[in-house]
Chain A
Amino acid sequence: KAGVTQTPRYLIKTRGQQVTLSCSPISGHRSVSWYQQTPGQGLQFLFEYFSETQRNKGNFPGRFSGRQFSNSRSEMNVSTLELGDSALYLCASSLQAGGQETQYFGPGTRLLVL
């Protein structure tokens, strides 16, 4: 079974731009969660989607948004990029919703904001 895939793997943007990241979950998994990982803050939860509905949301500003499609693929968007948005963005999929489910992480998208 193919693992979680994320595209692109690397991205360079400038302040003020917007970016869209994509995540394809493991086949059959209906839940997708997004995380931001930085050396200073570690891994922080952004949001979780299940069956195209946002189930849970972390403490990030409204510039961070996401969506899930009927095939469970998910995208996250960051508008008006700031330097502090430079991070590794990870998505994880699981069969069912909820943090207690085993989550399988993708390799991440490394975003650099200049």
Chain B
Amino acid sequence: QKEVEQDPGPLSVPEGAIVSLNCTYSNSAFQYFMWYRQYSRKGPELLMYTYSSGNKEDGRFTAQVDKSSKYISLFIRDSQPSDSATYLCAMITGANSKLTFGKGITLSVRP
């Protein structure tokens, strides 16, 4: 079993839909959780960064962490065609550890 599992894609939604992207993990030592967005032919860019369990909101994006269930989610409200990209979850155990990524899910938002 991989340390981080991400829902397989691709995912296609109409503009304005609410999108839910999910990752589960097996290593209970993971403490920091991130979501990256990667556009075609570009490197990933950090979208959200959370430490504790609960919700963190930034505009149309909400990151949710449930450490007891080892489950993280990214919600996108009022999705736009410009949100079409690959979304990767990532997590680390501590300050000096390496980032472990999910495989990523490709999202397409149809106008």
A interface list, Cβ under 8 A from B: 4, 33, 35, 41-45, 48, 55-56, 58, 90, 92, 97-100, 102-108
Shortest Cβ gap from A15 to chain B (Å): 26
With beta carbons under 8 angstroms apart, the residue of A56, A92, A104, A107 that contacts B96 is A56
Shortest Cβ gap from A105 to chain B (Å): 3
B interface list, Cβ under 8 A from A: 32, 41-46, 49, 88, 90, 92, 94-104
B97 touches A42 (CB 8 A): no
B43 touches A44 (CB 8 A): no
A55 touches B96 (CB 8 A): yes
Chain A residues with Cβ under 8 A from B42's Cβ? 107
With beta carbons under 8 angstroms apart, the residue of B44, B45, B46, B98 that contacts A45 is B98
Chain A residues with Cβ under 8 A from B104's Cβ? 42-43
Chain A residues with Cβ under 8 A from B45's Cβ? 104-105
Q: How far is the CA of A55 from the CA of B104 in the complex (A)?
A: 26
With beta carbons under 8 angstroms apart, the residue of B41, B99, B103 that contacts A107 is B41
With beta carbons under 8 angstroms apart, the residue of B49, B88, B94 that contacts A43 is B88
Closest to B43 in A: A105
Which 4 residue pairs of A and B lie closest in terms of their CB atoms, listed nearest first? A105-B43, A42-B103, A99-B92, A43-B101
**Highest count of chain B CB atoms <10 Å: which of A43, A102, A104, A105:** A43
Q: How far is the CA of A35 from the CA of B97 in the complex (A)?
A: 14
Q: How far is the CA of A30 from the CA of B73 in the complex (A)?
A: 31
B32 touches A100 (CB 8 A): yes
With beta carbons under 8 angstroms apart, the residue of B44, B98, B102 that contacts A99 is B98
Q: How far is the CA of A111 from the CA of B45 in the complex (A)?
A: 21
